[in-house]
Amino acid sequence: MIVKANLQKLSSVLWQIPKSFRSDMNVDAKIFASEEMLDEILNDQSLEQIVNVATLPGIIGSAYAMPDIHEGYGFPIGGVAATKFPDGVISPGGIGYDINCGVRLLKSNVDINSIKSYLESLAREIYKRVPSGVGRGSEFVLTVTELDQVLKYGVEWALNKNFATQHDIQNIESGGRLENANPNLVSDQAKKRGLDQLGTLGAGNHFLEIGFVEQIYDKEIANQFGLFENQVTILIHTGSRGLGHQVATDYIKIMMQKMSDYGIQVPDRELVCAPFNCPEGENYFAAMAASANFAWTNRQMITYAVRQGWKKELGLLGGELELLYDVAHNIAKIETHEFDGKSKKVILHRKGATRAFPPNHPDLPPQYQKTGQPVLIPGSMGTASYVLAGTQAGMTASLGSTCHGAGRKMSRHAAKKEIHGKALKAELEQKGIIIRAGSIPGLSEEAPAAYKDVDEVVQVVHEAGIAKKIARLRPCVVIKG
């Protein structure tokens, strides 16, 4: 059991568990949190999990925990770790079951006050066009051949079908495609689960939110992002659906059977992993990339449906919905980072953590070279969400990574016991937030009370310098499964 006395305070928002804490740790564990948040974090097993991550073979730098940290499978959600390339390990638990769960933000050119009378009809129309809920299928039912094209080419497939624009692709992390994707390494069962799920939200904490820019913190960068006060925005949060979940399930099982063959021992079997340069590691990475491509295309197809509904309800008044950016927060990538003054390629695991690259980074498109990468942080249902920007300090302090949301503080089971869906819906509607949900009881699981305060989480990363506050968004419509 980890207690506060085991942690070294490095600053008001940064703590360390040194590798001397446990004999099997290969690196330190660093935790971004305020003192008040740390007291809450110590109530679950997430710090034990980040210490376990610090034992991974080939881990380099430190194991990092973001302020939205909470327990996950193997890795905590809100965990970041780099392993040596190509002979370190890759761990499916360091990516998660919802491969490339992520967020995209669409921006309009209209003021919220000019469309308030349309919000009810907009909510109804978009809810109708974007399937949500467990197992809900889409009108975009693919053949296996078409699905393989999505898995291989990502959003380029949508571009060729006129569901995306070149501008969209320029504003998606990795251009909406990981080139090492191999559809042949995705199982038939995973493909079967994905055939009718393109363009669907799913359930859990996934949502679609119509809101507006409530506050701007950095006018210069906000202006370059094309953001202004009271501007209507649409936030989309979902991932690779059942397909990605099955890929994770398949490869966790494979690695469980093979790990001992490579002489790997881990303190928690959920940290199952394989050397990146072995067949199991390479195959998982290629299947994970295919799942990531599916997720980016999924968010693109939702964007297409939203744009159609927006146009139908608002016509010329609404103008165009432009993509600000799309970020993944459950993914592994090959990246170059600096360690002890030397640039090294690493396998970067981000699980419940968002990439936050700085100005002048070669992986950013031209429009964000001066500002740094847009970083999108969704809050819990009915609270605020944020737009941040990546910083140079974050490259060394957290491997170009930051938080991904508010982070749970209450289990779904506990939330359902304590919070009633109907009462929550009424409470949010009294605050002027329109709710469209397939399951009223399911709302309880995602109640704001079940999550940490997103304002506090974002303030920690801002104070730590690993991302910079640009704008705060306030919701008007929330659509959930």
- C-alpha of 228 from chain center: 24
- Looking at 206, 237, 329, 404, which residue is catalytic? 404
Whole-Å CA distances, 259 to 105, 255, 284, 300: 40, 6, 13, 37
349 a catalytic residue: no
Q: How far apart are CA 70 and CA 362, in angstroms?
A: 32
* Tokens standing for residue 341: 């003054």
Q: How far apart are CA 409 and CA 453, in angstroms?
A: 10
Q: How far apart are CA 104 and CA 238, in angstroms?
A: 9
- Asked whether the beta carbons of 35 and 21 are under 8 A apart, the reply is no
Q: How far apart are CA 371 and CA 359, in angstroms?
A: 5
**3-class SS of residue 404:** coil
Positive or negative: CA dihedral 44, 50, 64, 90: negative
Q: How far apart are CA 168 and CA 297, in angstroms?
A: 11
Task: Give the position of tokens 């199952």.
Answer: 272
Q: What is residue 92's DSSP assignment? A: G
Residue of 405, 414, 403 lying closest to 450 (CA atoms):
414
Q: How far apart are CA 461 and CA 99, in angstroms?
A: 24
Please give the positions annotated as active site.
404
